[in-house]
Structure 1
Amino acid sequence: MTATLPLAGRRYEDVVVGEALPELAIPLTRTLIVSTAIATRDFQDVHHDPELARERGSKDVFMNILTSNGLAGRFVTDWAGPFATIRRVKIRLGAPNHPGDTMTMTGEVVSKADGLVEVTVVGANSLGNHLSGTVTIAYRTEGTDAR
């Protein structure tokens, strides 16, 4: 028989409204932008062909929304720990994420009720805010399904 160790991590009781999440700096490499567009099955040329992106008015290829959405969720779940499940990601895009820049994610807990936690998130690069919005997570207790 194999013994299982209890999961460690943040729990609902640990979360405080007003709490700031630790910043996360994400280097925006060409490989990240192109590979995540392909991984999300977004084959639009503006996400992988620099010449065509420039012809369409961009300075270079730029990150797609599915990747931005995933990075916002990852930012919150990395902080929240293994007892949290994403319930909703609601973001707006602003300045594009181009290769060679860095997107710095910041966030703050804005509400907590009935096992749900809402976090505001901002992802900023040298051009301004790339994304802003909220991520809602649900907490579960060890050994139970998420709400």
Structure 2
Amino acid sequence: MSPRRDTVLPPTRTYDEVAVGEVLPELAVPITRTLIVATALASRDFQDVHHDPGLARERGSKDIFMNILTSNGLVDRYVTGWAGPAAVVKAIRIRLGAPNHPGDTMVLTGTVTGKSGTDRHVEIAVRGTNGVGAHVTGSVSVQLPGEGR
């Protein structure tokens, strides 16, 4: 589906515009009960710990919590929101830590850690923290267009 004609897409970063050490702007994601349940269902993750507070508590959690597929998708959204619509995500490598529970906010941060000129790949270290600590840490590799796009 192509964008509407009156829709203005954000610019895509080019490989030459990006510098190692560049810090991406923060993205705050409110963690709501609806976000957790809807994204678990959308990713076909029907485990009760993602939608049933009573059963989640029985299994040792204080409440329902976000699944890894949602965390992965939010990391992708964060990096592509910075890189722009012509960027191609080549790899996402993440680890989960502290759970994302309803009522908290996850703040995503990132830093460009490397560039590979032959294929215009950019490596970005990412981290998502909440009130308990680091929820997600890892890296994302994106391919950016050259100057000519």
The alignment's TM-score, normalised by the length of structure 2, stands at: 0.89
**Who is 2:52 aligned against?**
49
TM-aligned CA deviation for residue 36 of structure 1: 0.3
1:101-112 to 2 correspondences below 5 Å? 101-112=104-115
Deviations 1:46-90 (A, max 9, x none): 000000000000000000000001111110000001221110000
Q: What SS does the aligned partner of 1:88 have?
A: strand
**Who is 1:96 aligned against?**
99
Are 2:14 and 1:11 aligned? yes
TM-aligned CA deviation for residue 117 of structure 1: 0.4
Distance, in Å, in 2 between the alignment partners of 1:129 and 1:52 is 24
Say what the alpha-carbon RMSD is for the aligned residues.
2.0
**Who is 2:64 aligned against?**
61
Paired AA for residue 125 in structure 1: N
**Who is 1:135 aligned against?**
140
Number of aligned pairs? 141
Structure 2: which 5+ residue stretches go unaligned? none
Distance, in Å, in 2 between the alignment partners of 1:137 and 1:93 is 21
Deviations 1:76-109 (A, max 9, x none): 0000012211100000000000000000000000
Q: Which structure has the highest strand share of the two?
A: 1
Identity of aligned residues (%): 61
